[in-house]
C-alpha cells in the first residue's frame, strides 16, 4: 500500500517584504466655489447607508494550545491531501474499487493517529508532531524549540529556534531553514487548527482531542 508522510512537509510562507513609502502627493489648487445643494429631507435609495455586515470574532489561538493540548489530523477534512491520497490509492488498486476503498480507509486510520501539540519547557516553547508506532504507542516525528513571531490573534507564526529531534528530524532540514520563511498555524474555531502545507497537500486540518 502506498502512503505518504503527512507531517514531514511543513508550512513555508514567505514573510511580507518592506515596501518603499509612496511619493509625496503634489498640492492641488483650491477647488472653485460651488453652489451648495441641500439634500432631500427623505433619504433615497442612493444615499441610504448599507446595513452593517456582521463579523465573526477571531478565535484566540494561545489558550487553545495551552497545557500541551493534542490536535489530531483529519484526512477527510484536508481536501487537497485527501485528493492526493485517493490518487495514490487508485494507482495501487489498478481499477479495483474495493481495493481503492480499503487503501483509503487504512490511510485515514493511520492519519487519525497523527497530530500536533505545543509544549512548554521552562521559558521555551516546543512544537511537536507525532503518530502511532508499530506497538500502538505514541511515536515522535518532530520535536524542537520554536521562536514566535508577530501574528494575528488567531494564528501562530514561528521559526525553529534550535535542534529538532524525532523520527523525521533528519529529513526535515530545520538546520537549513530559510531566513525569510516561517511556519503558520491558524485557529478556525475553539477546537480546530489548520496548517497550510505546500502543494499538493494544501491545508491540513487538526481537531483538539
Q: Can you list the domains of the chain with their CATH numbers?
A: 60-77+113-208 (2.40.128)
Q: What is the model's pLDDT at position 25?
A: 47
Characterise 23 by phi-psi region: left (phi > 0), alpha (psi -120 to 50), beta (else): beta
Comparing CA positions, the residue from 152, 160, 154 lying closest to residue 181 is 160
Q: List the pLDDT tens digit at each of the 209 positions of the chain.
A: 444 454 433 433 333 333 344 444 455 555 555 544 444 444 334 444 444 455 567 899 999 999 899 999 999 999 999 999 999 999 999 999 999 999 999 999 999 999 999 999 999 999 999 999 889 899 999 999 999 999 999 999 999 999 999 999 999 888 888 888 899 999 999 999 999 888 888 899 999 99
Average pLDDT in the chain: 80
pTM of the model: 0.72
How do residues 18-29 score in pLDDT, each as one tens digit?
334 444 445 555
Contact 4, 78 (CB under 8 A): no
Amino acid at each position: 500500500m502506498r502512503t505518504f508522510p503527512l507531517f514531514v512537509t511543513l508550512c513555508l510562507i514567505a514573510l511580507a517584504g518592506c515596501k518603499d513609502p509612496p511619493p509625496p502627493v503634489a498640492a492641488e489648487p483650491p477647488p472653485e466655489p460651488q453652489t451648495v445643494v441641500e439634500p432631500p429631507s427623505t433619504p433615497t435609495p442612493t444615499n441610504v447607508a448599507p446595513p452593517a455586515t456582521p463579523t465573526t470574532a477571531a478565535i484566540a489561538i494561545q489558550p487553545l494550545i495551552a497545557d500541551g493540548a493534542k490536535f489530531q489530523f483529519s484526512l477527510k477534512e484536508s481536501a487537497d491531501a485527501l485528493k492526493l491520497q485517493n490518487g495514490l490509492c487508485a494507482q495501487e488498486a489498478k481499477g479495483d474499487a474495493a481495493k481503492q476503498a480499503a487503501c483509503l480507509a487504512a490511510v485515514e486510520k493511520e492519519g487519525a493517529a497523527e497530530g500536533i501539540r505545543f509544549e512548554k519547557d521552562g521559558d521555551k516553547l516546543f512544537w511537536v508532531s507525532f503518530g502511532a508506532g508499530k506497538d500502538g504507542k505514541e511515536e515522535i516525528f518532530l520535536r524542537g524549540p520554536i521562536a514566535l513571531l508577530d501574528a494575528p490573534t488567531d494564528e501562530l507564526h514561528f521559526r525553529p529556534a534550535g535542534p529538532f529531534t524525532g523520527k523525521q528530524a533528519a529529513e526535515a532540514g530545520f538546520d537549513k531553514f530559510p531566513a525569510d520563511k516561517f511556519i503558520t498555524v491558524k485557529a478556525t474555531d475553539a477546537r480546530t487548527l489548520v496548517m497550510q502545507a505546500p502543494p499538493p497537500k494544501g491545508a491540513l486540518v487538526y481537531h483538539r482531542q
